[in-house]
Structure 1
Amino acid sequence: MDGFLKLVLTVSVVLTGVRNQADCSSLSLRRVSNAKVSGFSWKNCGQSDDPAVMMSLSLSPDPISIPGTLTASASGSTTVPLEAQLSLNVTMEKEVARIWVKIPCVEEIGSCHYRDVCDLLNQVIPPGPDCPEPLHTCGLPCHCPFKAGSYSLPKSDFYVPYMDLPFWLTNGNYRVQGVLGSGGKELGCLQVTLSIES
């Protein structure tokens, strides 16, 4: 999976608030069960000459139940290697009275700047001999560096477990934009919109 597909994973991690217990202890988290995520859509939001682009991304069913199983497929490409010191600028907004309001960065959740996506990936997927399934079977890498080229994840099922979310990250329409960069240069941009109901 190329770095831009990993951007989707990283945005998902930011959305779900996945952190270890020490990092979450001061957040007002609540256990989310029987939540529904619906209206998922995405688009590339970068320049036409950005080297990293998402070519397809599909999640089903609609709505997605939490906890529950979702089916995902994706493809993307990068014309440059994606190596250490990849940065990620995330802008998260919630629709309030038909106005998009920016959610500030609170303990690494919200509109945050992540200096090292490669390190973040190592926290989410601890380095080891093999990447987790279905990445391993599909021959997709899960850690930096990512070689230039095209990557594809065929339709695969994933289980979404119960999760803890900040109290403010429920019941509403959300828009999340992630800009991947390196050395001050934009490499790619992805925007995701969805609704959460719990």
Structure 2
Amino acid sequence: MAQLLFCFLLTFAALGPFASEAAAPASLYNWMFLSVNDFTWSNCDGNWSGNIISLSVSPNPINIPGELTISIVLETTERLTAPTKIILTAKKKILLSWITLPCIDNIGSCTYDNICEVLDTSFPLGEPCPEPLHTYGIPCHCPFEAGVYSLPEATFTLPNVELPSWLTSGDYHVNAVIMADNQKFACANFTFFLGS
């Protein structure tokens, strides 16, 4: 499952510039200081080729901009190859109901059809993967071989982000599914409170 979360995390590192450069009226976006509180995760029910073994993030709350410390162990029993798709379903709690958010400029309930291609564009082939992936032998390109991937505690600096004005404070749930060869490979759930 090492491939699951690292692919998932790498995808968002790679997609970040695309979202911020998307053509949209400036009024749709706000620069803001954010905090992520009460982050939790779980593997989806069922048998999956990829699974999160452990995941720890701190501090609580996570301040953006600020520093994020993460450690993670992932395991996969099968080789993950291109094309690999990530399907995100993002929901926000409004009163007593969970409302599915649309996909707008790569934010929300979006499908990314070829993550391997995005990684190849974001991390040039033939060059070492960025730290700390390089130090711990974690690949940043497809294919991802079967095995266990472990990233010991590492600290990253989170830059300020630009989010749509409709992405307001509240409780969020994100389901992430990785598909390879039209088969579900891995699935995880993430919950958090987003504040500004």
Work out whether the TM-score is over 0.5. yes
More deviation, 21-30/145-154: 21-30
Assess if the C-alpha contact under 8 Å between 1:56 and 1:74 holds in 2. yes
Distance in 2, Cα, partners of 1:113 & 1:70: 26
Matched, 1:43 2:26: no
Give the conservation status (yes or no) of the 8 Å contact 1:7–1:178: no
Q: Deviations over 1:8-62 (max 9, x none)?
A: 4157559xx71347842315221122x21111000001422x1111111110000
Match of 1:161 in 2: 159
Q: Residue 55 of structure 1 is aligned with which of 53, 72, 82?
A: 53
Is contact 2:11-2:118 (8 Å) kept? no
Structure 1 contact 11–178 (Cα < 8 Å) conserved? no
Q: Cα–Cα, structure 1 residues 32 and 125, in superposed 2: closer, same or farther, change >3 Å?
A: farther
AA partner of residue 40 (structure 2): S
Q: Quick one: which amino acid aligns to residue 88 of structure 1?
A: I
2:3·2:149 contact (CA, 8 Å) conserved in 1?
no
1:185 maps to what in 2? 183
> Does 1:4 find its partner at 2:43?
no
Q: Aligned equivalents of 1:53 and 1:127: distance in 2?
A: 27
Q: Normalising to structure 2: TM-score of the pair?
A: 0.90
Encode CA deviations 1:76-112: one digit per residue, 9 max, x unaligned.
1111111110111110001100211000112322111
Which blocks of at least 5 consecutive residues in structure 2 are unaligned?
Answer: none
Identity of aligned residues (%): 38
Amino acid paired to 1:37: V
Runs of 4+ residues deviating >4 angstroms:
10-14
* Structure 1 unaligned spans of 5+: none
| SS of alignment partner, residue 63 of structure 2 | strand
Match of 1:29 in 2: 29
Distance in structure 2 (CA, Å) of the matches to 1:122 and 1:11: 11
Once the two structures are TM-superposed, the CA of residue 125 in structure 1 deviates from its matched residue by 3.5
Counterpart residue number, 1:144 = 142
Native 8 Å contact 1:46 1:188 kept in 2:
no
Q: 1:191 to 1:103 in 2, by over 3 A?
A: same
In structure 1, how many angstroms separate the alpha carbons of the residues matched to 2:176 and 2:98? Answer: 16
The reply on whether 1:72 has 2:55 as its aligned counterpart is no
Do the aligned partners of residues 73 and 21 (structure 1) sit closer, same or farther apart at CA in structure 2, a change above 3 Å counting?
Answer: closer
What is the DSSP-based 3-state SS (H/G/I as helix, E as strand, rest coil) of the residue aligned with 2:104? coil
The CA RMSD over aligned residues, in Å, is: 2.1
Q: Quote the residue 1:116 is aligned against.
A: 114
Residue-pair matches, total: 194
